[in-house]
Chains A and B, each alone.
Chain A
Amino acid sequence: MVAMKGVRGYRGRGLLLLLALLAGRPPSPPVALGPQQTVHSVNPKLGIHTRLTDEVEPWKIKRTLEMVRELGAGWIVEYFPWAYYEPSPGRFDWSHADLVVDHARRQGLTVIARLGFVPEWARPDPEEQPTTFTYLDREHYDDLAAYVAAFVEHFRGRVEHIVIWNEPNISLEWGYRPVDPEGYVALLRAVYPRARAANPEVVVLGGALAPTLAPVGDPEGMNDLDYLRRMLAAGAGEVMDGLAVHAYGWQRPADAPPDPTEVNWNRTLLLRQLLVEAGYADLPIYITEGGWNDHPRWTKAVSPSQRAAFTVQAYRQALEEWPWCQAVVLWAFRFPRPANTYQDYFTFVTTDFTPKPIYLAVQRYARGEGP
C-alpha cells in the first residue's frame, strides 16, 4: 500500500508539474506587422499572384509579402474562398484574411481579391447531386452576392479590387457543367450592385477567362474570345468596372503578335479589342494571372533564360505600351508546399523561400538595373 501510495504520489506530482509547465509556457510570439513599408520599382504595374490561402504560419505569410515587396511588385492577387470565410450562412470568420491583408498593406502592396469557392451549404444536397466547389446554381447567386458584400464591407479601405469567379469559360470551373456566358453575366448582375452598395469605391472585375483554343462545342470549355463576345452581348460591360485577364505566353515570346489561333501574351490585345468594339474602351484591364513556365519537360514550357527575358519584356510592354492596363500580376510567387508537377516551375521562389533566377532577374529590372 505504501509503495502504491508512493507511485500515485509521484504521478500526481508529475501531472501537476506538467500542468504548471503548460500553464506557464509563454504563448507563441505574435508576428508583428512591423513598420509601414513602400514598394520601390520602376514599374508601378508590376505584380505577382501570391498563394497564401493555405499558408497557416503567420511568419511565412509575412515573409512572402516582404519578398514580394523586395521583388519590386506593388500588386498581388490573393484568393479568399467563400467556403473558408462563411462556413455557415451569415457567420463570417475573417481572421486569416485579415492577417494576409494587413501584412500585405503593411508591406505597401495593393491587394486584388479573387472571390469564389462555393461552400457546401450553398450547393445541392450531395446525396441527391454530387457537386464540386465550383458549382453554383442561379438560386444561390444572391448567397454569393451577400458574401461579396460582406467581404467588401469588412475590407473597405483595405481591399478595393475584387475578381468575381475564376475562369468561368472552362467546365471544371463552372461546376463541370456546360459553360454559360449569359449565366456568368447573371452572376455578375447579382453581385455587382451589392458590392458597390457596400463600398462605392470598390472595383469589380469580371472575366478572368482561361486562354483556350477550345473548338466550338468542346465539352471542356469555350474559346475565351467567343466567351467574352457573348458576355459583352449579354450586358457584362454594365456590371463590371474592369476586365480581369489571364495572359499566359506558353512557348511564344512576349512580342509574338496577337493571333486568335494561338495562346500567347498578346492575346490580351484581342480581348482589349473586343471591349473596344463593344463600346467599352474605357473599361481597364487587370492581368490577374499569366507568365511563362520553365519546366524541363512540360510541352508548354520554355527555358529558364527565355522565361526571364519574356517576363521582363512583358512587364515592360504593359508599362510602356498598354495605358489601359492597370496591373500585371503574374502566376505565381510561391506555393506553401511543392505541387510536384510542372506547376512548381511557374513560381518565383521555392517553398523554402529561396529566390529562383527569375526572381532575381525581375528584381534587377524593377530596380532599374537590368537591360
Chain B
Amino acid sequence: MRGRSGAGSGRTLVVGVVAGLLLGAGLWLLLRSLPAAVDPTWQRIVETGVLRVCTDPSWPPFEFVIEEGGEVQGFDIELAGLLAARLAPGIQAQIVPVGFDGLYDALLSGRCDAVLSALPYEPMRTQDVAYSLAYFNAGLVLVVRAGSDEIETVDDLRGRAVGVEWGFVPEGNSRQRLLLQNLGLRRYDTPLDALRALQAGEVEAALVDRITALTYLHGCQGLQIVGEPLTDVSYSIPVRPDSFKLLEEINRVLLEMRQDGTLERLQEKWF
C-alpha cells in the first residue's frame, strides 16, 4: 500500500509541475498580448509639448504677479519651466492661474496637468491625487543669533525665552505640541515679530516657519537657522491619479534636481 501510494504522489507532483508551467506560460503570453497601460495626460503632454501647471500667484516668493506687465514669477514658476524642459525635449510649461481654494478642483477637472503652488502634502487627499516627491520643506525651524553656540538643538531651549507666532501650532499636530512642552514661549502676533524680537534681544531663539525665516534672514544680518526643519511641511506636486507616467517622470527630474543642486540654487535665488 505504501509503495503504491508513493508512486501516485510522484505522478501527481509531475502533473502539477507541468500544469503549473503551462499555466504560467499561458499567463505570460496573455499579459504580453495585452496593450500597455496608457497615461492619457503624459500622452497629451508629449503630443502638444505643453505641461499645464496650475498655480495661485499670491504667495511670494513661490508665485506672485509682478506689477509691471502682470507676469507671474517665483520659485515655483521657474521650477515649472525647468521641470518641463527636463521631462522630455521640447516640452514647455504653461502657467494656469487659479485661486488657492480652487487648485485641486482645477487639477481634477482637467484644467491643468499638475499643481505647482507651494502645496503641502496632505495624507487625506491621497485617494484623489497622487503626490510627487517633496521639493521644499516649509516646516518649523529654529533661529538664533549668529555666533550663539549654546543653542544647537531644540533640547537646548529648555528654560530659555523662545519667540513664536501666537496660535502657530498647527491643529491636531500632537508631535508639535509635544515639541513645545517645557519651553518658555513668548507669543507674538506674527512670525516676523518673533524674529524681530530675537534680533532685539527680547528672546534667545525663535521657532518660525522656514519661509518666513529664509525671507527675513535674506535681508538682515546677525541671525542664523540652526539645523534641519523640526517639522515636516513638504511642498509637493500633485497630479491626477491616472497620470502615473507623468508622476514617474516628475519624480525622476526632481531627484536629478536634488542631486545636481538645482533645487538649492532656486532657493538661493528666490530667498
Contacts and interface: CB of A to CB of B under 8 A. Distances in A.
- Whether A and B are associated in the same complex: the answer reads yes
Given A338-B124, A340-B124, A351-B172, A298 B165 contact: no
Interface in A302-351: 303-308, 338, 340-342, 344, 350-351
B149 interface: no
Nearest to B167: A304
A354 interface: yes
Task: Find the residue from B99, B172, B190 having the highest chain A CB count within 10 A.
Answer: B172
A356 to B, nearest CB: 6
A345 to B, nearest CB: 8
A297 B101 CA distance: 9
A61 interface: no
Contact of B166 (A298, A308, A344, A354): A308
A299 B100 contact: yes
B172 A352 contact: yes
Given A299-B100, A338-B124, A304 B171 contact: no
B125 interface: yes
A4 B124 CA distance: 50
Contacts of B271: none
Interface of B: 56, 58-59, 99-101, 118, 122, 124-125, 165-169, 171-172, 187, 189-190
A275 interface: no
Contacts of A344: 171
Contacts of B169: 357
24 contacts: A297-B56, A297-B58, A297-B100, A297-B118, A298-B101, A303-B166, A303-B189, A303-B190, A304-B167, A305-B166, A305-B167, A305-B187, A307-B167, A308-B167, A340-B122, A340-B125, A342-B100, A344-B171, A350-B171, A350-B172, A352-B172, A354-B171, A356-B171, A357-B169
Given A350-B172, A356-B171, A304 B166 contact: yes
Nearest to B187: A305
B59 A303 contact: no
Interface residues of A, number: 22
Interface in A272-309: 294, 297-299, 303-308
A335 to B, nearest CB: 11
Nearest to B171: A350
A343 to B, nearest CB: 9
Contacts of B165: 303-305
A299 B58 contact: yes
Contacts of A118: none
A304 B125 CA distance: 25
Contacts of B125: 340
Contact of B172 (A297, A303, A305, A354): A354
Nearest to B122: A340
B166 A297 contact: no
A240 interface: no
B124 A358 contact: no
A200 to B, nearest CB: 44
Contacts of B124: 338, 340
Contacts of B118: 297
A356 B59 contact: no
Nearest to A344: B171
A299 B101 CA distance: 9
Contacts of B167: 294, 303-305, 307-308, 356-358
Given A305-B189, A356-B167, A356-B171, 4 more contacts: A298-B101, A299-B99, A303-B166, A305-B167
